[in-house]
Amino acid sequence: MRELLDADDATEGSACEDIPEEACHDAPGNFALNVANGASTKCAELIASPSVVLPLLLTTVGAPIGLVGALEPVRRGASLVPGLIVSGRMRAFGRRKGFWVAAGLVQAATLLVSAVVAATLSGSAAGVVLVAMLALFSLASGAGSVAFGDVMGTTIPRRRRGRLLGLRAAIGGLIGVVVGGVLAATLGPQPARGTFVALLIGSAALWVLGAWLFSLIREPAGPVAGGRTPLAEARAGVALLRRVAGFRRFLLARGLLAATEVAVPFYVLAAREAGVDASGLGAFLVASGVAAVAGNPVWGWATDHASDRAVMTVAGMIGTLAAVLAVALMLADAGGELAYAGVVFVAVVAQEGVRLGRKAYLVTAAPPRERPLYVALANTIIGVLMIAFALLGVLAQAAGVAAAVGAVLALSVLGVAATRWTPEPEEMARAHAGTP
């Protein structure tokens, strides 16, 4: 791991730039622990994916389609909403990794409850409880997200963060490819509930492992500014929005590109309508894993060596392409398991690029003392918007899956346009420094 940190030093300066001096010695070990944590949790996310696994589980237990359409908005919205509460409390702690560890254990617990539900309930009751558990899972994820950005900002140098994020997702995706391949070879048209129960339990175990690995990271004590109440944190956030125009533009682009992050369940539903049965679960998981393995190292390299904003733009364009492909398959009334797996592959490549680009952008653009506020405010605003994306599920229920996919396509196009209006992160950081 030291080689990963030291590469290119001759042209990029110290491998320990932009982190506290006392963290330099621990940076290689922290890099390795962070990668191992990411491999564990990314694999956990894949094998209990709200985009692929949960939609098929809900259809297996007989839940309404509207609940399937709500999965990604609930997951991503609930994970973002609690940010201001967490950031306000986190300011009182010099070390913040404990917030992530606690969040990981809560996520494991919700998956275990979901496994029990998958084994025992059916119909709307099963669907409602599973969506509720996903919401609780995501609230914990949101708490951990704020802490993760801050811990990464104090333990990993600026020019290694994209590489770190790419490796985390790629290794987890590689493990997911193996799991998906096994499922593709063994699943029948109607897999037993026990398959889903096993996936949920396996995901819970990986979250426990990830929490333990994150607890081992050696985090230097950061500045302690005193805790703020959620109301005080919200007021500080409103003032920040007024002062920094570039931040407002970033939020607009991120909000529109969120369409690429909720799209996959609709592609899975389109595949079901085209006659692809539940045996396609393995193929979809393989497609998602291969996308993570192939795409994330490239996205990570791009954020380290090019522009975080450009990564968001290109990823948004790829997400738009996925929607175009899905629309074409539906209009032609063609395409089987492999064709829709291809759409899932393209969509997940785009999702990973948008996710990695926006994370790297915000860590770079936010001044260290205010990083928790920047991350939390962005998460809260986008979280509210993501919950509104549940209306796409209502649209799918009322007007059909094709209408929902068309809406995703339109929003993705607007998101790509909005990224061109967003400043580079270094420009936004300078704008913040220049405000009173």
Q: How many CA atoms lie within 13 A of 432 on its CB side?
A: 24
DSSP 369: G
**Which domains, from first to last, does the chain contain?**
18-434 (1.20.1250.20)
Torsion angle of the four alpha carbons 226, 230, 236, 242, in this order, in degrees rounded to the nearest 10: 160
Task: Check residue 11 and give its pLDDT.
Answer: 41
Instruction: Tell me the C-alpha distance between 371 and 74, whole Å.
Output: 25
% the chain with pLDDT above 70: 86
Confidence at residue 13, expressed as pLDDT on a 0 to 100 scale: 44
For residue 393, which of 23, 55, 21 has the smallest C-alpha distance? 55
| Residue pLDDT, tens place only, 20-35 | 676 687 888 889 999 9
Between 292 and 45, residue with greater pLDDT = 45
Average model confidence (pLDDT) for the chain? 82
| Whole-prediction pTM | 0.70
Convert 290-315 to b/e letters by CB count within 10 Å (16 or more is b): bbbbbbbbbbbebbbeebbbebbbbb
Q: Residue 121: is its pLDDT beyond 60?
A: yes
Q: How many helices (H) and strands (E) does the chain have?
A: 20, 0
pLDDT tens digits, 145-176: 778 878 887 888 877 777 887 788 778 778 77
pLDDT at residue 82 is higher than 70:
no
DSSP strands (E only) in 303-400:
none
| Res. 224: pLDDT tops 80 | no
For 122, the token pair is 């059916």
Q: How many CA atoms lie within 13 A of 343 on its CB side?
A: 30
The model's pLDDT over 172-199, given as tens digits with 9 standing for 90+, comes to: 778 777 877 777 776 666 667 888 999 9
Phi-psi region of 173 (alpha: psi -120 to 50; beta: other; left: phi over 0): alpha
12 pLDDT above the threshold of 60 = no
